[in-house]
Chains A and B, each alone.
Chain A
Amino acid sequence: GDSVTQMEGPVTLSEEAFLTINCTYTATGYPSLFWYVQYPGEGLQLLLKATKADDKGSNKGFEATYRKETTSFHLEKGSVQVSDSAVYFCALRSPNAGNMLTFGGGTRLMVKP
């Protein structure tokens, strides 16, 4: 079945550091890929998405590129801020699966001033 694997956290960075959170997936066909973010005390919200190979999703300075050859969708940001501290979830949706998302385990990011 479909699965998503994320690097385990927590990831601790200093402000303005470069961020990479790794995400790889296993799926049949050509899934859509998503990153969701969960700020403390809140529900998840969509951060960015990509629907086909080589697409780059971007939002709020975060980027991720859909790499079919390596089945990856790594999240990157050039300069993190304290306000980026949150839990980040990678997810996929298989074709014809409607809204059924398969989530990774989440990666907690802590950014220190």
Chain B
Amino acid sequence: EAQVTQNPRYLITVTGKKLTVTCSQNMNHEYMSWYRQDPGLGLRQIYYSMNVEVTDKGDVPEGYKVSRKEKRNFPLILESPSPNQTSLYFCASGWQASGELFFGEGSRLTVL
């Protein structure tokens, strides 16, 4: 089954404790992206990757890191999480030409 898989789905952590949210897709997509969804703010792009070893900042990259060592994986790293990073995070992937994105089910992160 074609899918984008994120883990963990839910996480409560404390300020400053490094965490990684994993994202994996099985559709051989070149493009992958991370978004955060906050009430009243819609979806905002954090980072994206056009292909392996190619990443770039989105609209709200501060406090986040990403890497793209393999085509299927695109982890989101919070080196020192802060309460303002409490949010619902979505990973998405797609083929370059189509514009259609496939989304994971989301990871709800709470930073205390």
Interface residues of A (CB under 8 A from B): 32, 34, 36, 41-46, 49, 89, 93, 98-101, 103-106
Contacts and interface: CB of A to CB of B under 8 A. Distances in A.
Given A99-B31, A104-B42, A106-B42, A49 B100 contact: yes
> Main SS of the interface on chain B?
strand
Interface of B: 4, 31, 33, 40-43, 45, 48, 50, 90, 92, 94-96, 98-106
Contacts, number: 54
13 contacts: A42-B105, A43-B104, A43-B105, A44-B92, A44-B101, A49-B99, A49-B100, A89-B42, A98-B31, A98-B96, A99-B31, A99-B48, A99-B98
Contacts of A45: 102-103
Nearest to B106: A43
Nearest to B91: A43
A34 B98 CA distance: 11
Contacts of A36: 101
Contacts of B101: 36, 44, 46, 99, 101
A44 B48 contact: no
B88 to A, nearest CB: 10
A103 B37 CA distance: 11
A52 to B, nearest CB: 13
A98 B41 CA distance: 23
A96 B45 CA distance: 18
Nearest to B9: A41
B99 A99 contact: yes
B100 A100 contact: no
Contacts of A98: 31, 50, 96, 99
Contacts of B98: 99
B92 to A, nearest CB: 8
A32 B99 contact: yes
Given A32-B99, A46-B101, 17 more contacts: A36-B101, A41-B105, A41-B106, A43-B105, A43-B106, A44-B43, A44-B103, A45-B102, A49-B99, A93-B99, A98-B99, A99-B94, A101-B99, A101-B101, A103-B43, A105-B40, A106-B42
